[in-house]
Amino acid sequence: MELSVVSGALLVLIAMSILTWTIAFIKFRNFGRADKQSTIFQKEFWDARDWSAGQKVADDAQGDLATLAKSGYTEYDAFMKNPVSLRFIGEPAEVLQQPMRRTLANIIRHHEHGLSELATVGAISPFVGLFGTVWGIMHALESISKSGAASIDVVAGPIGEALIATAIGIATAIPAVLFYNYFLRRLKLQNMDMEAFLESFLRLASHQIDKK
């Protein structure tokens, strides 16, 4: 029984470790791709000769900033077709800002996928390991008391095996916490870049509306 409980704890920790590294691999790939797409889009968009050319760049591009720009252009086109609609009451920049901020929130929510899992693994894996250790030690001492042998050779083996669970729990938690903090930092930086682009886009759109 004690073996199955400790083994179960170790299997859970192994599964958590696999989950952690899988999430980390996926997020490294996704963040790297997003950064590359954003860099390319920023250059092409701000090098566009006019508003319409910028829209074509956005339509042809992929990535978070392109998605954000597309939502702005979509709302701009709808506004220009029917500016007196109740939907568009208010300052043009405020009108355009609302759908773009919804799009931004959806992008951030998408990139947050996996962070809660990393936080959970980092928080509970040491306790899973500790549970396996406590359970193993408890039953090891029980077996020792029944056998009547209490030499160091008899005690060290079972207790040492039980302590492995705690070590694995800590080893599982450390990468999860490090990855969580790293990706959270990347997400904040990405959010700052998108916020800056959103503000610049709104100024550009307001200028375009004023020209009409």
Residues of the chain falling short of pLDDT 50: 1-2
Nearest of 212, 203, 210 to residue 97 by alpha carbon: 203
What local confidence, expressed as pLDDT, does residue 25 receive?
A: 98
Q: What is the pLDDT of residues 116-168, one digit of tens each?
A: 999 999 999 999 999 888 887 887 777 667 666 556 665 666 677 778 889 99
Q: Which residues contact 198 (CB under 8 A, 6 or more apart)?
A: 68, 72, 97, 100, 101, 104
Nearest of 117, 132, 114 to residue 170 by alpha carbon: 132
What local confidence, expressed as pLDDT, does residue 123 receive?
A: 96
CA dist., res. 163 & res. 175, Å (int)? 20
Can you give the residue ranges of every domain in the chain? 2-25+40-211
Nearest of 115, 90, 92, 130 to residue 24 by alpha carbon: 115
CA dist., res. 6 & res. 8, Å (int)? 5
What local confidence, expressed as pLDDT, does residue 2 receive?
A: 47
